[in-house]
Structure 1
């Protein structure tokens, strides 16, 4: 059973491992962070969803007791009621539906909290991620040309968006998900 749980500082090595995966390095321009810094972000992101607070939210995606990924919500605007989503499923756990199930639940929670628009940014070459957002009902809304600098490579960034009124996830509850 897929679940989302609040992260804790001891999850920092797991997150560092996700960030170090070749696919993550190929598609994301990460700021170098220590385990202590990642642990602090995890602790700060382990709070309930409150529309009037704008800090980053993070959740560990678990399959039973095993950590399989991390999802987040950042650039939250209580005034506009919008938020940017992120997801990273470990390479060894991809193509099993974990990302879809976790994001469906996360989308539901964010819309129920009062957000009206969710969005995500994706490297133009990350075809699997583009397909994931499309499968969840997100629409490609635009392109930030040469927005990412990955190594020395300039990479276009695609913007995907989903309105509460468009959300298939907001209209159905996943049956294999629980929040812990």
Structure 2
């Protein structure tokens, strides 16, 4: 199974069924905070729903097609970064992420995404990684901007958030761009 220590505080690990309860607890604890940007919260009613989410990620991982990666901060479950389906023909993928409210402001997500991007480019030999974020979600948009992604455009009304549509900014990072600008990749 995938496990990756980033530093003494932050580590990544493929989500397993045993992580369902801590994941559910962080979602519920941060629900009002996360609701502004995560469209799926009304579909999460129990730990069983989280188990199905984790099992889906494990199946994708087993088929070399992405997966759901848990983020731990000082041994506590903090959030998720998902590697969406991998297009092996074009060697591309996209990332999606969320972090519990009390874990904000420590650079955790930037470190987690940076580590995964290094793995995707160096070990998976992917060509392109994409991140989309709601136009007004400045914290989420800051991650690709810090990591050297280029803003490529805006998708109008692309996501339904409970009672309204939101536009997404599309960010892309090519392996060549990453290799040129990343002189000190994130390593454990």
Query: Which of 149, 154, 168 matches 1:143?
Result: 154
Is 1:158 the equivalent of 2:166? Answer: no
Query: Which of 16, 23, 26 matches 2:24?
Result: 16
Distance in 2, Cα, partners of 1:44 & 1:29: 18
Query: Which of 52, 62, 74 matches 1:64?
Result: 74
Normalised by the size of structure 2, how large is the TM-score? 0.81
Cα contact 1:147–1:155 (8 A) shared by 2: yes
Change (3 A) 1:18 1:65: closer
Change (3 A) 1:172 1:126: same
Aligned-residue offset at 1:114: 1.3
Aligned-residue offset at 1:138: 1.0
Distance in 2, Cα, partners of 1:105 & 1:47: 22
Distance in 2, Cα, partners of 1:142 & 1:18: 32
Query: Which of 87, 91, 100 matches 2:97?
Result: 87
Cα contact 2:99–2:109 (8 A) shared by 1: yes
Greater RCO, 1 or 2 (C-alpha within 8 Å, sep 6+): 1
Query: Which of 105, 113, 117 matches 1:103?
Result: 113
Aligned-residue offset at 1:109: 0.8
Distance in 2, Cα, partners of 1:38 & 1:5: 16
Kindly indicate which of the two structures has a greater share of residues assigned to strand: 1
Normalised by the size of structure 1, how large is the TM-score? 0.84
Distance in 2, Cα, partners of 1:146 & 1:86: 18
Distance in 1, Cα, partners of 2:158 & 2:39: 10
